[in-house]
Amino acid sequence: MPQADIVILGGGSGGYACALRAAELGKSVILIDADKLGGTCLHRGCIPTKALLHAAEVADSARESDEFGVKATFEGIDMPQVNKYRDGVVGRLYKGLQGLIKSRGVTLVEGYGKMVGPTTVEVNGEQYTGENLVLATGSYAKSLPGLEIDGRIMTSDQALTLDYVPERVIVLGGGVIGVEFASVWKSFGSDVTIVEALPHLVPNEDEACSKALERAYKKRGINLSLGVRFAGATQNESGVQVSLEDGTTIDADLLLVAVGRGPSTDGMGYDEQGVAMDRGWVLVDERLRTNLPGVFAVGDITPGLQLAHRGFQHGIFVAEEIAGEAPMPIPDINIPRVTYCEPEVASVGLTEVEAIEAHGADSITTYEYNLGGNGKSQILATAGFIKLVQLTDGPVIGIHMVGSRLGEQVGEAQLIVNWEAHPTDVASLIHAHPTQNEAMGEAHLALAGKPLHAHA
Ligand SMILES: Cc1cc2nc3c(=O)[nH]c(=O)nc-3n(C[C@H](O)[C@H](O)[C@H](O)COP(=O)(O)OP(=O)(O)OC[C@H]3O[C@@H](n4cnc5c(N)ncnc54)[C@H](O)[C@@H]3O)c2cc1C
């Protein structure tokens, strides 16, 4: 006999969002987590890193205050105080989340769970069976073959626990996590080198964004080693040395390994129960169903973008699907993406190259609005652009942005792409002056053939 309508294994973004929505829909829910409710995002991911990035922004503001006529001196980073501020943010959100889970009547079971039947999970010798089972066990920081995480060689998990600012850091991996940590450490005063085997930083973004970020990072004094593969690393009491395949060596105090995240599925009984998997990822259809009846999977354990808001959306989707609400799936490509470094990179929809691959070069029109014409960006002293990718005479199918604080603009960007708006639809709406949001309006005005603060 099932003990609940839904058993959820994993209480991160995907799992807890599913629990909250299912409870709202009147379902009984058992939510199992081996660690802290909130998962990677709240305790080791989005929230703590963004708190560090905010502290980094404050440091930059202090350092650059003269430029704005404000007399302030930057004396340095008090890392224990930064960590206290960060932990305060995480702690308040954690408490709030625990309260929410309790108030919605979700049963929280603490312990390591293993799938032992078609919809049954065993935790500490107890078995929990649901009418449906949702797998939401998330992801872990990967390393490279032969590169052991230990001591001065660390992943984001250990980097977040540092109580000092390293003098010299090597960041292995120029993806989202790597460039965010590089940004923080540079603002905190470290000498930073990013090593990326591919030719560009944030290689999944539109190349225009990657190149703009590279220019901005070089201007900030961040060293870039792009297009060269890592060969090995050694460490001793005084430092770490990284060697590259072109024979270069780089010395530093520590090495951050940010080469991606793998699915947390090992030893959890999925294989034994016959869940279809590919290299550890749990395979799902567009309705997030696994191959087993009544078993769903959400968040980072499914192949695709590893983002907390994708996890939330997956969780809500599955709860509604189980409740018979027939929700509408959102394809990964239309999920907004933000890299919260300085300057920020934000995007939704197809890159120019993807759009050309999908529709042919003759069917694609692009436009880049430079922030040079945007009053608020000038006030903030940031450079960058908003690039639109349009199906010629049709909807905008991709928006790509670089600039300080532009992550905040991804909200409107995702409405435009998801609602398949044409440039004229957006051009007829009013964007408040002087905001960076105005740049979104200006870009669409220009693409609609009536540029205002831009050359035709
Ligand atoms: C440094 C860093 C920064 C990030 N920044 C951002 C960001 O700014 N924006 C963004 O959108 N995303 C960000 N992410 C990604 C985001 O954190 C993940 O996409 C999100 O947490 C995935 O949610 P999830 O529910 O799939 O998995 P998780 O959050 O990993 O949760 C899985 C949960 O399952 C539990 N669990 C695992 N196995 C078991 C088991 N056998 N039994 C019981 N419990 C188990 C774990 O304890 C964990 O709580 C970041 C990630 C990192 C590492």
Segment 49-102, tens digit of pLDDT: 999 999 999 999 999 999 999 999 999 999 999 999 999 999 999 999 999 999
199 in the same domain as 212: yes
Is-contact 187 76, C-beta < 8 A? Answer: no
45 part of a folded domain: yes
166 in the same domain as 27: no
What distance in Å separates the CA atoms of residue 158 and residue 156, rounded to the nearest whole number? 6
The beta-strand segments (E) located in 327-374 are: 337-339, 344-349, 364-370
Q: Is 161 a residue whose pLDDT tops 90?
A: yes
The response to whether residue 262 sits with its C-beta less than 6 Å from ligand 1 reads: no
d(CA 42, ligand 1 centre) in Å = 8
362 part of a folded domain: yes
Q: Could you give the number of structural domains in the chain? A: 3
379 in the same domain as 298: no
Q: Which of 16, 33, 41 to mutate to test the pocket of ligand 1 (most atoms within 8 A of CB)?
A: 41
Last residue within a domain, chosen from 273, 298, 332? 332
Q: What CATH number is attached to the domain comprising 419?
A: 3.30.390.30
Which residue is closest in CA terms to ligand 1's atom 1? Answer: 45
188 in the same domain as 62: no
Tokens of 398: 């991709």
Q: Is 456 a residue whose pLDDT tops 80?
A: no
131 in the same domain as 19: yes
For position 135, what pLDDT does the model report? 98
For position 47, what pLDDT does the model report? 98
The response to whether residue 45 sits with its C-beta less than 6 Å from ligand 1 reads: yes
Summarised one tens digit per residue, pLDDT across range 239-249 is: 999 999 999 99
Q: What CATH number is attached to the domain comprising 185?
A: 3.50.50.60
Q: Is 454 a residue whose pLDDT tops 90?
A: no
> Domain residues for 347?
343-447
The response to whether residue 264 sits with its C-beta less than 6 Å from ligand 1 reads: yes
Tokens of 133: 């089972």
271 in the same domain as 232: no
232 in the same domain as 247: yes
198 in the same domain as 103: no
146 part of a folded domain: no
The response to whether residue 313 sits with its C-beta less than 6 Å from ligand 1 reads: no
Summarised one tens digit per residue, pLDDT across range 197-256 is: 999 999 999 999 999 999 999 999 999 999 999 999 999 999 999 999 999 999 999 999
304: left (phi over 0), alpha (psi -120 to 50) or beta: left
32 in the same domain as 134: yes
Q: Is 1 a residue whose pLDDT tops 60?
A: no
Average pLDDT over residues 332-346: 97
Which residues contact residue 262 at a Cβ distance below 8 angstroms, ignoring those fewer than 6 apart?
A: 139, 140, 142, 280
For position 2, what pLDDT does the model report? 66
Average pLDDT, the chain: 97
For position 455, what pLDDT does the model report? 78
Q: Is 433 a catalytic residue?
A: yes
Last residue within a domain, chosen from 231, 259, 287? 259
179 part of a folded domain: yes
148 part of a folded domain: no
What distance in Å separates the CA atoms of residue 243 and residue 256, rounded to the nearest whole number? 14
